[in-house]
Amino acid sequence: MDKILGTLNGVDYTIGGTLLELSYLLAAILFVIGLKLLSHPETARRGNFYAGGGMVLAMLTTLLLHKNANGVGIQPANVWIILAAIGVGSAIGWIIARKIKMTAMPQLVSFYNATGGAASALVALLEFPNADMSNWGSVLVTLLGLIIGSVAFSGSMIAYGKLDGKVKDIRAGYMSFVNLALLVGTFGLAIFILLSGQTPAELNWAIYLLLFVSLLYGVLFVMPIGGADMPVVISLLNSFTGIAAAMAGFIYNNQAMILGGILVGAAGSILTLLMCKAMNRSLLNVIIGAFGGGGTAAAGAEGTMKEMTMSDASVLLAYSQNIVIIPGYGLAVAQAQHICHELDLLLADKGVNVRYAIHPVAGRMPGHMNVLLAEADVPYDKLVEMADINPDMPNTDVAIVIGANDVVNPAAINDPGSPIAGMPIIKAHEAKNIIVMKRGRGKGYAGIENSLFFDDKTRLLFGNAKDTLQTLVSEIKGL
């Protein structure tokens, strides 16, 4: 039967080919189910298994059933090489994931994202010599895969360096013009390759120049963007990686790669736009606005930061009825999520209603605070989104701000001239009392003073969040 059906125009119509396409369809369904389950913390772990199962299915059926236009499958020797590469990569990934600290999770996501972009760019680079230059569609997806994959790779590596404190921002005003020139040059070179009418061998110099320019653009594109915008940048680069993977799928006519890439690209794009909305800023403003580090003062950010003793803080918390904890990156840096959960359990035993207020862009990646607190076994129903918690803030006895700054800065709604003007915030300033835990008197990533810290209702506990919380727990136990 397979001999009768065979292949036509490069499409495998054999029974094996049909099974392969069906497996890709099933893999795509598993991707969609996994993506849906990832939208909630309680089902996220199961979602990972569904999506991972779909990827394993697609890889295995490709190895066993894929045939080229001549009806020839993957040679056994190559199968073993591929399996060995998958095994080595999986082992390395497993070790890294097991050893990585939660504080470094954003860096890990950026690094993994970079590897995805690099893989897609390499596919395009290796397949270009085989391209049919008369087939514009085929050449176009190859060039787009190279450009987008390269930008995702180099941009993600710079994002990794920034998150890890190894790369500093470049905020020169001319950077926007340099990036615009590079972007125009990148697509101009791609159009030249597409319309030149030359053979791939004759365009060898051009394709490597395109690779270099794309990598350079990825670097310079991320360099001016401030630390406060890193969650948006990571999400945007993640969507780039998905789009590049889809382009690689078109090159190989692989439905699983196309569908998987489209899902990642679409999900990353939607998340990027949602985070921009949460910050009340356009994506273009994020990219060229150089948000963060402006150094301007917020309106009303004057006066004295008033400290309080641990004993006073413990009494205030122990005899409150409603407490809202607002975590930020400082909580992650101090690895204080476990002792923070111990505090909320201790207060709950005393009849206090304790909840966590989660800002959409708190931390250094989307969902950073949710993952961090889930690691400490904080119940999911205690994690309340900003829009749901804000109406309850006037009835909150104490708002505890742990390592958060810009996401609770009243300047966003009180100062039209502030760099964060219009950004939705958690309204900690509306609580009856505010306790702020921070390492020092420094500013947040936006580089502006926080008027909340000078509020008459605010008292500060300076020091490492983990040590502060540990002392506070001991004080409350001693009451």
Same domain, 79 and 164: no
Same domain, 320 and 418: yes
Helix (H, G, I), strand (E, B) or coil at 419: coil
Q: Note the pLDDT of residue 63.
A: 86
Residue 377 domain-assigned (yes or no): yes
Q: What is the CATH number of the domain that holds 460?
A: 3.40.50.1220
Same domain, 110 and 236: yes
Which residues are designated catalytic? 406
Q: How far apart are CA 407 and CA 191, in angstroms?
A: 43
CA 320 to chain centre: 36
In contact, 383 and 356? CB cutoff 8 Å: yes
Return the axis-axis angle of helices 175-195 and 136-163, rounded to nearest 10°: 150
Range of the domain at 63: 1-99
Same domain, 32 and 157: no
Same domain, 110 and 95: no
Same domain, 52 and 152: no
Residue 22 domain-assigned (yes or no): yes
Q: Note the pLDDT of residue 185.
A: 93
pLDDT tens track of the chain, all 479 residues? Answer: 444 444 444 455 566 678 888 998 899 899 889 988 887 777 888 999 999 999 999 888 888 887 766 677 778 888 889 899 989 999 998 898 888 876 677 888 889 999 999 999 999 999 999 888 888 888 999 999 999 999 999 999 998 888 877 887 776 667 778 888 999 999 999 999 999 889 999 999 999 999 999 999 999 988 887 666 777 888 899 999 999 999 999 988 888 889 889 988 998 888 888 878 776 667 776 666 544 444 444 444 566 888 889 999 999 999 999 999 999 888 888 888 999 999 999 999 999 999 999 988 777 777 778 888 888 888 888 999 898 999 999 999 999 999 888 889 898 888 877 777 778 889 999 999 999 998 766 666 556 788 889 888 999 998 888 999 999 999 998 87
Burial class (CB in 10 A: 0-12, 13-18, 19+), 465: buried
Which residues, in sequence order, are CB contacts of 239 under 8 Å at separation 6+? 264, 265, 266, 267, 268, 269, 271, 272
Residue 285 domain-assigned (yes or no): yes
Residue 330 domain-assigned (yes or no): yes
Same domain, 78 and 116: no
In contact, 473 and 343? CB cutoff 8 Å: yes
Which of 291, 318, 344 is where one domain is finished?
Answer: 291
Strand pairing of 353-358 and 383-385? Answer: parallel
In contact, 247 and 148? CB cutoff 8 Å: yes
Which of 225, 257, 291 is where one domain is finished?
Answer: 291
Same domain, 471 and 324: yes
Helix (H, G, I), strand (E, B) or coil at 108: helix
Nearest Cα neighbor of 266 from 247, 237, 243, 233 is 243
Q: Note the pLDDT of residue 188.
A: 94
Task: Report CA Rg, the chain.
Answer: 26
Same domain, 458 and 435: yes
Q: Note the pLDDT of residue 446.
A: 56
Residue 301 domain-assigned (yes or no): no
Burial class (CB in 10 A: 0-12, 13-18, 19+), 31: buried
Q: Note the pLDDT of residue 228.
A: 63
Q: How far apart are CA 317 and CA 320, in angstroms?
A: 5
Helix (H, G, I), strand (E, B) or coil at 176: helix
293: left (phi over 0), alpha (psi -120 to 50) or beta: left
Q: How far apart are CA 191 and CA 189, in angstroms?
A: 5
Q: How many domains is the chain built from?
A: 3
Nearest Cα neighbor of 311 from 459, 425, 195 is 459
Q: Note the pLDDT of residue 88.
A: 94
Around Cβ 90, how many Cβ atoms within 10 Å?
10
Residue 265 domain-assigned (yes or no): yes
Q: How far apart are CA 64 and CA 79, in angstroms?
A: 9
Residue 376 domain-assigned (yes or no): yes
Same domain, 314 and 267: no
Same domain, 110 and 25: no
Same domain, 146 and 245: yes
Widest distance between CA atoms in the chain: 86
- Six-digit token string for 62: 């490709």
Q: Note the pLDDT of residue 33.
A: 93
Residue 305 domain-assigned (yes or no): no
